[in-house]
Structure 1
Amino acid sequence: MRILEIVLGSLVVLATWVSVVANLVVPRGLRSRYTRLIRDLVRVPFQAAADHCRTFESKDLILAWAAPLSILATLLSWLGLSVVGFGFVLAGVGGTNPGKGMLESGSSVFTLGFLSSSDSQQIFVDFCAAATGPVMIGLLVGYLPAMYSAYSQREAEVTMLQARAGVPAWGPEILMRHVQVPGLITQLTALYQGWERWAAQIAESHTSYPVLIHFRSPRATRNWLVALLAIMDAAALELALNPSKPKATMRMTLRAGFTCLREIADVEGIPYDVDPDPDSEIQLSYAEFSQGLDMLRYAGYPMERGPEDAWAHFRGWRVNYESLAYTLAYRIDAVAAPWSGPRRTQRQVLSVRTPVDRQPSRSRPAVSAADEDRQPTAPRGKA
């Protein structure tokens, strides 16, 4: 029985340290089912309360607490598991009951020192337990500045996009605003290049610190995923509408974008098709696409292809990232935006109201019954 307690306690301590090192030390996106479980458990009560909110601002305010608190809950769970693990080891080494062993273990892990043993073997275990608490807390203290620095860099770009894409961000509005200001459309290439680098940074930071995926923006109407989707849609629209334009920058931005989403999907455990068929159907309806083109035409955006021809090309690009973006947007409960898929509560989707300049008063296509049937109703896991 003493050997079993020592083995069990050692396995708990080892598993705890593997989780700590994988999340706080190793600089790569290692999937940890344990930390994901803690994060999901912390999120459940916040999500339940948020789903009953009448406004998205209230919902966002509640959900903003979930991800940061999951970090604290993870640290406390690591310390708790260390107390349990060392408690079993101390009980096995000293021949005492597990309750007394955990009391001594807690005294050491939290460096209280009110209970210790004179036995040399138990003293060694006490020293190991006493080192565990400060080391875990120290690693987390070093982890937080790097994580919040990545968060700050992410949000700076999302905030800067607000003037170019509106809030919530939308791909067609990026093109519309750039064509309405004389000379601004020439800056689209620089915008795409900046977001190509941004997507690469997000792929690195959000796989190294997966909790950032669920960190919300300071403003309820902004969201990193919706912003990236808007940039990718704008690039796909340009490729579909104007084939004579230089394609390299837009193609690389799209590839960086859906590569970023795929790496995040790997960490989140979301399945996807690595080589989707360009002729596959997408959840965005042709009526929604036509309404976006109608707005661009109203703003004076030049188009070399007609809507039907452009739709085939746009769909061929969007099939690479649409379902992944929709699944992630549903999972993190991002702000509802045009062309961004369904959400957990229907009233949030119905509350999407585009600004007046997104709704031209003339030549707006009607939504047919067939197109209504193609409206997205649930996220898919295939990209």
Structure 2
Amino acid sequence: MSLRTIELLAGQVLAIVTLRDVFDTVVVPGGSKATLRVARRCVALLLPLWKHLRHRAGISTTFAPMILVLSFVIWMGLLSLAFGMMAHALSTSFDPPLRSFSQAVYLVGSGLVTVGLSETDALGGARWVVLGSGFCGLAVMTMAVTYLLVVQSSLAGRDTGILKLMTAAGNPPSALRLLERHAAIENVSGISRVLDDGRDWCASVQQSHAAHPSLIYFRSVGTGAGWPAALGALLDLALIVEHLLDFREARGCAALMREEGARMASELVTLLKLPPAAPAKALEGANGLKSRLMAAGYAIRQDADLEAFLRARQEHAVLVSALADHLGLPAASLD
């Protein structure tokens, strides 16, 4: 087998692997399962450096967009290299023949970006290489635009839920402050609606972020502590209603919210392969919890067990804290 043939086959393999990675990352729900995993490798490489440079400031609003743009740049670069190898292997099929590998990359690169600049005419099989580069470039750029629309739509739904929660729960959100706020405005019956909306929010965020893991790293302006703190506050709210309050009409909503939120936290922690993180203190914010609820006008269950509540909270707090620590964001507190 000649070197030209090996170069042609290597270019074809690289093009197929790259396109598979783009397709699995952008189109197929669940993230990239291909060999390259460009987006995930960019995050794994740059996230520790980014967090180190920003210390405790967390991930900025520019990190996730930068990873997204960098991924598409790398994909286009790999496709330029792949089709350049194919064109160089067929250099004698051009008129005049290609003089160098850099000329071959320039020729197919212009096709990838749909400019179509060329100093030579393609003949025979080389025509299909040039045509294939243009088609793949158009496909990748189309998927990039489509993916941006998916990102914007998913982030809008996620951030709307966070902003609504912050209105009553503060920033960072707290389940106790939310309950006190609803009691102060005489809207205790609205707690059930908050739990139902929270359950819908958890299901929506879990579906979108598990399908497209890059969404996990997007942080929008004005959303305060971010989505891990919002998730923690909703889980705290569900546990308080379930374990401490004599509020039977909301207990079923709380149980469903807790299950949905715990499933969301568990799936995202598993997806990111994060070790569980220990919360700051098991009793942090718990002292005076019952007295503050009673002062707000809530009836406490006769069989309320604060220790059982804290044990249940510990189960989800280790997951929420792992997500928050990974993103450099604060977790929810009971205060």
The interval holding the TM-score normalised by the smaller chain is 0.7 to 0.9
Query: What's the CA shift string for 1:333-352, capped at 9, x where partnerless?
Result: 2246525xxxxxxxxxxxxx
Q: Look up the match of 1:127.
A: 131
Task: Give me the whole-angstrom Cα distance separating, in 1, the residues matched to 2:146 and 2:114.
Answer: 20
In structure 1, the residue matched to 2:211 is 208
Counterpart in the other structure of 2:224: 221
Aligned to 2:80: 83
Aligned residue in 2 for 1:171: 175
Answer whether contact 1:42 1:66 (CA < 8 A) is retained.
no
Q: Shift of the alpha carbon at 1:31?
A: 5.0
Partner of 2:257: 253
SS in 2 for 1:321: helix
| Paired AA for residue 17 in structure 2 | A
Alignment-derived partner of residue 324 in structure 2: 329
Q: Which residue, 21, 24, 27 being the options, matches 1:19?
A: 21
Q: CA 1:217 to 1:202, structure 2 compared with 1: closer, same or farther past 3 Å?
A: same
Which residue identity lines up with residue 338 of structure 1 in the other structure?
A: S
Correspondent of 2:118 among 100, 106, 114: 114
Distance of 1:30 and 1:106 partners within structure 2: 25
Q: Which residue of structure 1 aligns with residue 151 of structure 2?
A: 147
1:29 CA displacement: 4.4
- Percent identity of paired positions between Structure 1 and Structure 2: 22
Q: Could you tell me how far 1:110 is from its partner in structure 2?
A: 2.3
Offset of residue 226 of structure 1: 0.7
Please state how far the C-alpha of 1:293 moved relative to its aligned partner: 3.8
Distance of 2:154 and 2:247 partners within structure 1: 37
- Would the alpha carbon gap of residues 244 and 45 (structure 1) be closer, same or farther in structure 2, given more than 3 Å must change? closer
- Residue type matched to 2:318 in 1? S
Which residue identity lines up with residue 201 of structure 1 in the other structure? S
1:194-232 deviation per Cα after TM superposition (whole angstroms, max 9, x unaligned): 111111111111122222211113226241221121011
Aligned ranges 1:335-350 → 2 under 5 Å: 335=330, 337-338=332-333
SS in 2 for 1:63: coil
**CA 1:44 to 1:105, structure 2 compared with 1: closer, same or farther past 3 Å?**
farther
TM-score (norm 1): 0.76
**RMSD of aligned residue pairs (Cα, Å):** 2.6
Query: Deviation of residue 148 (structure 1)?
Result: 0.3
Candidates 240, 243, 248, aligned match of 1:240: 243
Range with bigger deviation, 143-152 or 94-103: 94-103
Unaligned runs of 5+ in 1: 273-280, 340-357, 359-383
Letter paired with 1:10: Q
Match of 1:196 among 188, 196, 199: 199
Deviation at 1:271, TM superposition (A): 5.8
Partner of 2:95: none
Of 257-266 and 196-205, more deviation after overlay is shown by 257-266
Q: Secondary structure at the match of 2:248?
A: coil
Structure 2: unaligned runs, 5 residues or longer? 93-97
Cα distance in structure 1, aligned partners of 2:165 and 2:234: 9
Q: Which residue of 2 aligns with 1:136?
A: 140
Determine the C-alpha separation between the residues in 1 that align with 2:119 and 2:134: 12
Asked if the contact 1:172/1:293 (under 8 Å) is kept, the reply is no
Query: CA deviation digits over 1:51-80, x for unaligned, max 9?
Result: 1xxxx7xx36x7111101211111111100
Question: What number of residue pairs does the alignment pair up?
Answer: 322
1:180/1:299 contact within 8 Å kept: yes
